[in-house]
Amino acid sequence: MESGKGAKTRQRILDAARVSVLAKGFSNTTIDEIRAEVGLTKSGFLYHFEDKTSLAKALLNQYVAEDDRIFDEIFDRAAQLNDDPLHAFLIGLKLLAEAMGDLPNAHPGCMVAAVAYHDKQFNHEIRDINRGALLSWRERFLAMLEAAAERYPPKVDVDLQKLADMLSSAMEGGIVLSRAFDTPSHLADQILLYRQFVSAVFLGTRD
C-alpha cells in the first residue's frame, strides 16, 4: 500500500513537472521551479527523485499508464455501442478525436514525442519505455484492424501493421500541428482523417 504522505508528495511533484515539461520541454524545466511549485526544498525533492532523469522516467511511465487507461475506456465503450469490429473501431476513433480535441497537451504523445526528440540525452531505460509504449499501441490497434479485416476484406492493399502505426503517427503529427498553430482542433482533425482512410480501406469509397 503506497498511500503514505510520501506518495502524495511524489505525485504532486509529478503533476507540477508535467505542466512545465509540456509547456517548455524537459530540458527547460528546472528542478528548482518544480520544487517551488510543490513547496519543497531541494533536498526534499531529491529525497523523492535521485536525479532529473529519474523524474523523466516516472513522468513517462505515468503518462503511458494513463494513456492505456484512456484507450481502454474509449475502445471498450465503442465496443459496447456496436458489435461489429470495424464499426466499433470507427466509433472509437470518433470518441478519441472528441476526447483529444480539447486537450492535446494532455495526450501522452506529447511526452513520448518530447522524449523521442531528446533521444541521446536519456538512458536506455527511458528509450525502452518510449518504444514499448509505441509497440503496445501498435498491438492494440492492430488487433482491432485484424478483427475488422476478417469481416471486411480490405479494398486497398495495405499492411495492417503499418496502418496500425499510422494512428500513432497521426496523433504525434497532429500534436505537432496543434502546438505550432496553437489550435487544439488539428489533432482531432488528423484522427478523423485517419478514420476516413480506415473506412475507405474496409468499406470502399462507394456512396
Partner DNA sequence: AACAAACCGTACTGTTGGTAGGGTTTTTGG
Partner DNA sequence: CCAAAAACCCTACCAACAGTACGGTTTGTT
Residue type, 157: D
Cβ at position 31, least distance to a copy of itself in Å: 15
Rounded to whole angstroms, the Cα distance separating 42 from 5 reads: 18
Q: Please report how many Cα atoms fall inside a 13 Å half-sphere around the Cα of residue 114, on the Cβ side.
A: 24
SS3 content of the chain, % helix, strand, coil (to 5): 80, 0, 20
Cβ at position 111, least distance to a copy of itself in Å: 10
- 171 alpha carbon, distance to own chain's centre: 8
Footprint on this chain of DNA (rule: CB under 7 A)? 4-7, 9, 29-33, 39-44, 46-48, 50-53
Q: Which does 112 bind (CB under 5 to 8 A by kind): a copy of itself, DNA, none?
A: a copy of itself
Footprint on this chain of a copy of itself (rule: CB under 8 A)? 23-25, 27-28, 110, 112-114, 116-121, 127, 130-131, 134, 155-156, 158-159, 162-163, 165-166, 168-174, 176-177, 179-181, 186, 189-190, 193, 196-197, 200-201, 204-207
Cβ at position 149, least distance to a copy of itself in Å: 14
